[in-house]
Amino acid sequence: MKKLIMVAGSAALMANVAIADNHEEAEDMVGRMYIEYVKPEMRSDYESVISDWNDCIAEADSEMHWHVYRPETGDLGRYAYSIGDRTWADFDKETPELDACYQEFKERYYASVYKVHGSFDIYMDEHSHHVDDDVDRPIAMVTVFDLDDPRAFLENVKKYTEAAGENEWKDPYYFYSGIGGEGATGLYVVSPVENFSDFDGDNGFWKMLSDHFGEEEFEKMREQDRAAINSYYTDIWKRDDELSSSHD
């Protein structure tokens, strides 16, 4: 496993789609995500080897940055690693220095984990909402969807995002489509916040949409959403700054 990483959530996931000029289509922005499951008795060993590995990566590529998250919900033995803002072509590049770091630490690394799940995660710009006055948001609520009708669901999400922009909605959210085989997250949305207190109360998002579209039309859209969603689940993750490296 090469340590090219991308996680669920934070301002670090803000991906600006690359457009050469107004006549060219935007390139897909792709991230590499690994969810790593650590043996209960090996947690300190895992963090030690990851810290040493990170030092090697930073020396091999001073421009590379990554974010590491710990779960606040679900299986607490997981860690998530993230690096984004790449095109598919970037994964074709040779990385001998980074490969050397992997070879140096792989035995210690694999001794501390019992399962690793990797994926490529494609950023969905038209379905994601940015804010101009963004701040550092180290906590991420991540909701994963199992959809019976992805097209209907995403058509509505795109309309909601357009409404959020028109109404200068203050809270960002980012949609991704994961490619990871069996057990992959599929479609998910990252909602980053600055503090846990930001989760308090109703933030008014649905009311904003109801006012924007009109109550009757919005209720029809919500019925379409409910019909399109088979199931969903939500996790909360918090960034581990000691294991992360950011140039933000």
pLDDT digits over 181-236, tens only?
776 668 999 999 999 999 999 999 999 999 999 999 999 999 999 999 999 999 99
Q: Are 154 and 145 in contact (CB under 8 A)?
A: no
| CATH number, domain 11-239 | 3.30.70.100
Tell me the C-alpha to C-alpha distance, in Å, between residue 68 and each of 19, 44, 170, 210, 248. Answer: 28, 15, 25, 37, 14
34-87 confidence digits (pLDDT tens): 999 999 999 999 999 999 999 999 999 988 888 999 999 999 999 999 987 789
At residue 33, the 3 state secondary structure works out as: strand
Q: Is the pLDDT assigned to residue 105 strictly greater than 50?
A: yes
Nearby residues of 72 by Cβ (< 8 Å), 6 or more positions away: 139, 235, 236, 237, 238
At residue 161, the 3 state secondary structure works out as: helix
Q: What is the pLDDT of residue 247?
A: 52
Q: How far is CA 232 from the centre of its chain?
A: 16
How far apart are the C-alpha atoms of 124 and 120, rounded to whole Å?
13
Query: Cβ atoms within 10 A of the Cβ of 77, count?
Result: 18
Beta bridge partners of residue 66, listed in sequence order? 245
For residues 83 and 122, which has the higher predicted lDDT (pLDDT)?
Answer: 122
Q: How far is CA 68 from the centre of its chain?
A: 11
DSSP classification of residue 21: S
In which region does residue 34 sit, left (phi positive, over 0), alpha (psi from -120 to 50) or beta (all else)? beta
Q: Are 9 and 144 in contact (CB under 8 A)?
A: no
Of the candidates 233, 186, 147, 232, the one whose C-alpha atom is nearest the C-alpha of residue 155 is 147
Of the candidates 152, 52, 151, 66, the one whose C-alpha atom is nearest the C-alpha of residue 102 is 52
Q: What is the pLDDT of residue 18?
A: 32
Q: In whole numbers, what is the pLDDT of the chain averaged over residues? A: 87
Q: What is the pLDDT of residue 221?
A: 98
Q: Is the pLDDT assigned to residue 248 strictly greater than 60?
A: no
